[in-house]
Structure 1
Amino acid sequence: MTIDEYILQHIDEESDYLKALYRDTHVKLLYPRMASGHLQGRMLKMFVSMIRPRRVLEIGTYSGYSALCIAEGLPEGGMLHTIEINDEQEDFTRPWLEGSDYADKIKFYIGDALELVPRLDLTFDLAFIDGDKRKYADYYEMVLARLSVGGYIIADNTLWDGHVLEEHPHASDRQTICIKEFNDFVARDGRVEKVILPLRDGLTIIRKRS
């Protein structure tokens, strides 16, 4: 038994609906590893339950797994706005979101978050950034300006499979460089508190200071 297997045996189960979505993601989509999965999904749900945000932004919907986990943790009246840039993803993802128990808590958009979010003209209590790694710094500044005081940003893939280490053979590819620049910028940013969790591919938890 691996540590990951042990952990999964000792945390809350995912719903049958999420299990079915995860299976369908692996059968029908080209990059199934992009889906959050059981452990990260339960952590997202737990974070949302703890923070109790009224309005959440997700950048990078993909198959909708993480969106459903976030929506599961939302309080009464809470709303998730989730944005997917790949329009070819819509035919797979939208039916899963609209067929879930949380359909009334989710607004799903297709388009570039950097263009859509300013047009929404909303503030958010929590944002989950899991989009184009080359745009993380741009997403961050855009979201921080629209984040409530004391609000949170969760950024995914910030350890990037270890590529962020200088000695890694892929340390100089464009996505890795942008993730490293994002990590360095957030580490120096006095506007926020931050911590990186070595969960899966790295999760950075960021809190906007008052």
Structure 2
Amino acid sequence: MEYLVNEAVEDYAFLNTSEEPALLKELIDATNQNMGWPQKLSGRLVGRTLKMLSAIHQPKRALEIGMFTGYSALSIAEGMPEDGKLICCETNPRAIEFAQTFYDRSEHGHKIDVVFGRALDTLATLEGPLDFTFIDADKRNYLNYWLAVKELTRPGGLIILDNVLWSGKVVQPESEIDDTLVETNRIIAADPDFENVFLTVRDGLNVVRKLR
């Protein structure tokens, strides 16, 4: 992932953001050592944002599309109430096995239920309402994820989409993925049933609230 702001500024923001718990730091190290594409991990700035939004919103029923090794899931679960449930969609069996070892050791792991398989297939089986969703999976399906999740979300619910700047490629789209993200961002901003704030955190976070 390319830095979208000065690297020194990014590091400054990292150092001046609350630290994640020790278990999540261990998860970062283990992901870097043992898993391919470790840059897919959300990291502190996104993770602490998710934790804070979850803690403020107190979702009872949450969804994550694209779990990877569990950093973002544990961040969301950390902010959820004790009786909250987070459904995580993931297609990589090795990532699921890896993440579960950390869920088993976390005081928040009991809130997380992992579903193996394509997220669109899982979404077709879910019933609403959802209070909180984090979308961070196959970018080619971002518009499909948005269209499905927005129907399942209750009024007042939050939907957060990651990587919506796509290393800045959305400004000058050159590929199918770029075009999909541009269209998804445009549709969200134009929908009168939602309000959103497009944040330039890391690779872009679109924080969306359903109005009605």
Shorter-chain TM-score range: over 0.9
**What is the CA–CA distance in structure 1 between the aligned matches of 2:196 and 2:203, rounded to whole Å?**
17
The code of the aligned residue for 1:115 comes to D
Which residue of 162, 178, 187 corresponds with 1:156? 162
User: Any stretches of 5+ residues in structure 1 without a counterpart?
Assistant: none
**What is the CA–CA distance in structure 2 between the aligned matches of 1:134 and 1:28, rounded to whole Å?**
27
The number of equivalent residue pairs is 206
Residue 27 of structure 2 is aligned to residue 21 of structure 1: yes
Percent identity reads 38
Show CA shifts across 1:134-171 (max 9, x none).
111111111111101111100000000000112xxxx2
Q: Provide the TM-score with structure 1 as the length reference.
A: 0.93
In angstroms, what is the RMSD of aligned CA positions? 1.4
**What is the CA–CA distance in structure 2 between the aligned matches of 1:5 and 1:202, rounded to whole Å?**
16
Higher normalized contact order (CA 8 Å, seq sep 6+, divided by chain length): 2
Which residue of 114, 118, 122 corresponds with 2:120? 114
CA contact (8 A) 1:53 1:125 kept: yes
Residue 81 of structure 2 is aligned to residue 75 of structure 1: yes
Residue 201 of structure 2 is aligned to residue 195 of structure 1: no
Task: Report which stretch shifted further, 174-183 or 93-102.
Answer: 93-102
User: Any stretches of 5+ residues in structure 2 without a counterpart?
Assistant: 1-6
Alignment of 1:8-157 (within 5 A): 8-157=14-163
The code of the aligned residue for 1:162 comes to G
Show CA shifts across 1:1-58 (max 9, x none).
9222222222211111001100111111111111011111111100001111111100
Q: Provide the TM-score with structure 2 as the length reference.
A: 0.92
CA contact (8 A) 1:147 1:208 kept: yes
